[in-house]
Amino acid sequence: MERYNRSLDQQGEVALARALAAGESQAFERFVEHFRSKIFHYSWLMCGQPDDAEEVAQEVLLKVFQNFRQLREPEHVRAWIFRIAKNACLIKRRKSVFAPQAEVSVDDLAPASEITDTARLPDEELNRGEVRAVLHQVITELPPAYRSVVVLRDLEQLSTEETAQILDLTTDTVKTRLHRARAAMRQKLDCYLRNRCIDVEPIATPSPLSEHAWNQLHAAWRQAGDLDR
């Protein structure tokens, strides 16, 4: 749990969700480990503070387990969880003492007409740990409306359609925001690669889950499962 967990692909997540629905205790532990890390990472990028992200991750997992029977299609488990996370993070962001007083204007991003469909981030460079940290720094400087699209599409690898559903947007809007955000990010990444013009902060990681928090999640899962018996 110390690092952002990418060890499961979407097929693995589907298998895990089905095992969890079947009541397998090992699936519960793996599910918490995997998705807590992902929710924390998303919430940190969207809320801006590890403390807020820790609270959001716990709140989201509780809601996931309390409402697990509502997951009718396990193949969409990642999108389902991130829709819950999006709503929880919006609420946390409004209430947080860390919320910024002013956001960067969307007008600061390049017009959509200047961006082609092939505009992408330099994937081959983002494999390096140092540049990955820069990428995260750049993402946090985007306006929230653009930041959320980049996180869901580029970091979480959700489809355009899933991202649109999570954010209550049209697919065209998702594409436009993604292209504009990528262009703005590329400029800053290029600046860093050439001139080291960005002060890089370390990527935040979640603290170990406390026994109380773990038991709270486990109780919610068992209670939801008992309703089916």
| Percent of the chain residues topping a pLDDT of 70 | 79
Question: For 117-120, which contacts have Cβ atoms below 8 Å and span 24 or more sequence positions?
Answer: 117/175, 117/179, 119/179, 119/182, 119/183, 119/186, 120/182
pLDDT of res. 133: 83
Residue 223 has pLDDT above 80, yes or no: yes
Residue 28 has pLDDT above 80, yes or no: yes
Is the pTM for the entire model greater than 0.85?
no
pLDDT of res. 7: 61
Q: Could you report the per-residue pLDDT of 100-147, keeping only the tens digit for each?
A: 444 444 455 544 444 444 444 455 544 456 777 888 889 988 999 999
Segment among 57-61, 149-153, 155-159, 225-229 with least mean pLDDT? 225-229
| The CATH number of the domain covering residues in 106-195 | 1.10.10.10
Q: Could you report the per-residue pLDDT of 8-24, keeping only the tens digit for each?
A: 788 899 999 999 989 89
Residue 73 has pLDDT above 70, yes or no: yes
Q: Are 44 and 53 in contact (CB under 8 A)?
A: yes
Spans of all domains in the chain: 10-99+210-226, 106-195
On the CB side of 49, how many CA atoms lie within 13 Å of its CA? 11
Residue 176 has pLDDT above 90, yes or no: yes
